[in-house]
Amino acid sequence: MASNMSGCILAIESSCDESAAAVISADGHVLSNVIHSQIDIHAEFGGVVPEVASRHHIHHVPEVAHEAIVQAGISFQNICCVASTIGPGLIGPLLVGSGYAKGLAISLGCDFLPVHHLEGHLWAACVDRNGQRARAWDGPPFLALIVSGGHTALYDYRGIGDIEILGETRDDAAGEAFDKSAKLMGLGYPGGVRISQLAEHGDANRFDFPIGLRQKNNLEFSFSGLKNAVRLAIEKHVSQKGELDYQLACDIAASLEKRIVDALILKTKNALKQTKRQTLVLGGGVVANRRLRHEMQQLAQKKGIMLKLPQPGFITDNAAMIGLAAHAYYRRGYRGQLSAKAAAWMPLDADRQSHFRVTT
């Protein structure tokens, strides 16, 4: 294994509406993790506007990078590699972040490393609550479940650059099911957090919402039926009572959350059976959901497997996760090519050999 780590990694994340930067030390500790969210700017549009996001990233990416350096207590001269998200995500925002990272790497005379956003979400699980690298865990092989606003999929992560997709959603992602249902309920954007807050006060068994592809013994997901079921439940109630009352909103939220979690547990169980992996890693914004975390912990306990969950601060989009993934590649001898192109669509199991050269 080639380590050759002579300094820190500065990581940049800008795939959606967060401008983020983080510094990871040579031994894999998170020294700083700075996020500038544009959430308030996009909330008034009911979703992220790509062009608006790009323009804000142009201002904020250099700012958060500088702030990450200051908070880490280092200088730009201590950086041996600038890493950035290269895809998937919104192309404008990706180009801003990766263009900045490449330019900075050239000006510092250091390495550049392009990181897959979803791989970042998975490596986020390798740090403990204090940002210290967990010593008991050195990575692959593991079964990976990604549950974010744009992706829901199971992967067999056999090793760096050796990932097989086992099944993904045929329609909406789990986060999308939360967000679209929240919009129907008038809860605003992004709705996942709001739904999970209401769900704490609701009856999860009041509505028997469907679980997509339940009968199939495969590893695919389907969540698009949920928003229609939520719409029908709202319409029925509003036609009878005139408006959506608080308790009903809580019951819908709890029933919706239960169904999404049930589907994720069911398919994860199938994948564990199929792959026989002993470690399960979860990544993506929906992993912030308390019910999902609790039920996954119970599943892991029952099956006697190791479960790796990202800690608060590392769950939704951040740059520490990008830096941690970069660190995993870098210490194995991977160096990035400046010719690596940002792309909106980039499957996690795609061949990315052209993004790298490997040192020995």
Q: Check binding of 190 to ligand KG4 (CB under 6 A).
A: yes
The 8-class DSSP code of residue 31 comes to E
Q: Based on CB atoms, which residue is closest to ligand KG4, 74 or 307? A: 307
Q: Based on CB atoms, which residue is closest to Zn ion, 209 or 314? A: 314
User: Binds 323, which of Zn ion, ligand KG4, none (CB < 5 to 8 A, cut-off by type)?
Assistant: none
Ramachandran sector of residue 206 (left: φ over 0; alpha: ψ -120 to 50; beta: rest): alpha
Q: Check binding of 181 to Zn ion (CB under 5 A).
A: no
- What CA–CA distance (Å, rounded) separates 28 from 46? 37
Binding test (CB under 6 A) with ligand KG4, winner from 196, 222, 255, 268: 196
Which 169-188 residues touch ligand KG4, going by CB under 6 A? 175, 178-179
Helix ranges restricted to H, 242-312: 246-275, 290-303
| 42, 17 Cβ separation under 8 angstroms | yes
Q: Based on CB atoms, which residue is closest to ligand KG4, 108 or 127? A: 127
Cis peptide before 50 (omega within 30 of 0): no
Of 17, 14, 22, which is closest to residue 323 (Cα–Cα)?
A: 22
Of 84, 61, 33, 100, which is closest to residue 316 (Cα–Cα)?
A: 33
Interaction mask 280-319, Zn ion, x per CB under 5 A: -------------------------------------x--
**Token code pair at residue 53:** 């996001």
Interaction mask 72-111, Zn ion, x per CB under 5 A: ----------------------------------------
**Token code pair at residue 312:** 């608060």
| 338, 103 Cβ separation under 8 angstroms | no
Of 243, 251, 254, which is closest to residue 186 (Cα–Cα)?
A: 243
- Site size for ligand KG4, by CB under 6 A? 18
Q: Check binding of 284 to ligand KG4 (CB under 6 A).
A: yes
Q: Check binding of 193 to ligand KG4 (CB under 6 A).
A: yes
Binding test (CB under 5 A) with Zn ion, winner from 84, 98, 148, 152: 148
Q: Which residues bind Zn ion (CB under 5 A)?
A: 148, 317
Q: Which residues bind ligand KG4 (CB under 6 A)?
A: 148-150, 175, 178-179, 190-193, 196, 284-286, 288-289, 316-317
